[in-house]
Amino acid sequence: MPRGALIVLEGLDRSGKSTQVDRLVAHLQASGRDARVHKFPDRTTSIGQMINSYLQSKSELDDHAIHLLFAANRWECAAQIEKDLAAGTTVVCDRYAFSGIAFTAAKVRRDTRNWGLAALQLSKANDCAAGLRVSRASSELAVNWWYSLARLTPILPPLLSTHATTDTSQGIDFTYCLTPDTGLPLPDTTLFLTLSPEVASKRGAYGEERYETLDTQTRVREQFALVGREMAARHPGRWEEVSAEGTMDAVEAKVWTRVQAVVKRVEAGGEGSELGRLWV
Ligand code: TMP
Ligand code: MG
């Protein structure tokens, strides 16, 4: 019996992924195949509940810690995915390791903003002169002022950098971001649904969760482009962009055409049809 295919749909928040995942599974089943969805994050597990609470801003976590939890959440499902694939079931994932990379790598990099924040922390910690204290309302101004001061005062930067390294809003290296998922089952194809962050932001229920801001999604979009490049270099032919700008039916047809071709290739067996390992 041929193994099932591993299909991933990726995209920004509100790009219509979940709808397309459901429609794709319906197509697969109507064509006589066994198909199953895996949604990531899988919020039903205990790791998934920690992730859920973070996404709903009910808890705070260090950027590295939440990144590793997202990866762990995939690893705890990996054995089941492999079992399903081996049993001939096509597995469709709603997000996968690529979201893991793009969303973490998009976090604010260590830049002037972090220097400003570090300066702010320092001023709070020392509670120096009255002029160094900042009210919440004027904090933006104060941050800029502190940043200028930090630049001008030779002894401050080394002091501030100690604070900056503990600042959880600093960016995380791209290679670091992809490492924890190394070795996961390699998707036979990943369809990246492209939709401009502006269009996505106008869709219903936008803004309910932590990353659903135009600023974040725009940076995530840039990181997804780098993920696509990484895939082209390391796993050629397994990453495809599909425009999600049209009607749901039009997108559905495009997705099904592409997936059908991949599923048939996997079913045919032969060279390159065995399950691969991500980034290996
Ligand atoms: P969802 O909206 O598809 O349920 O995903 C929840 C959020 O989690 C979404 O903004 C994308 C983000 N995310 C990550 O930051 N890292 C990951 O590894 C995954 C799977 C999702
Ligand atoms: Mg979402």
Radius of gyration of the chain (CA): 22
pLDDT at 8 over 50: yes
Angle between the 97-105 and 63-86 helix axes, to the nearest 10 degrees?
A: 170
Residue nearest to atom 6 of ligand 1 (CA): 41
Ligand 1 centre from 157 Cα, in Å? Answer: 35
Kind plus residue range of the DSSP H or E element containing 39: strand 35-39
Which residue ranges make up each domain of the chain? Answer: 6-107+174-268, 112-165
Atom of ligand 1 at shortest distance to CA of 95? 20
ipTM over 0.95: yes
Task: Ligand 1, residue 104: give the atom nearest the CA.
Answer: 15
Is the pLDDT at 119 greater than 80? The verdict is no
Q: Indicate if the pLDDT at residue 99 is higher than 50.
A: yes
Name the residues around ion ligand 2, CB cutoff 5 A: 13
Distance of CA 149 to the CA centre of its chain: 36
Burial tier of 129 (Cβ tally within 10 Å: 0-12, 13-18, 19+): exposed
- Count of residues in the chain: 280
216 lines ligand 1 (CB under 6 A): no
Answer whether 42 contacts ligand 1 (Cβ < 6 A): no
pLDDT at residue 166 tops 90: no
- Predicted TM-score (pTM) of this structure: 0.81
| DSSP labels, 228-240 | HHHHHHHSTTSEE
Residue 116 pLDDT greater than 80, yes or no: no
Distance CA 146, CA 141 (A): 9
Residue 96 CA: nearest ligand 1 atom is: 20
Q: How far is the CA of 209 from the centre of ligand 2 (A)?
A: 7
What is the reported pLDDT for 162? 39
Q: Where are the beta strands (DSSP E) in 72-227?
A: 90-94, 189-194
| Model confidence pLDDT, tens digit, residues 190-238 | 999 999 999 999 988 898 999 999 999 999 999 999 999 999 999 999 9
| Percent of the residues in the chain that have a pLDDT greater than 70, as a whole number | 78
Homologous superfamily of the 6-107+174-268 domain (CATH): P-loop containing nucleotide triphosphate hydrolases (3.40.50.300)
pLDDT of residue 271: 82
- The pLDDT tens digits for 48-62 are 999 999 999 999 999
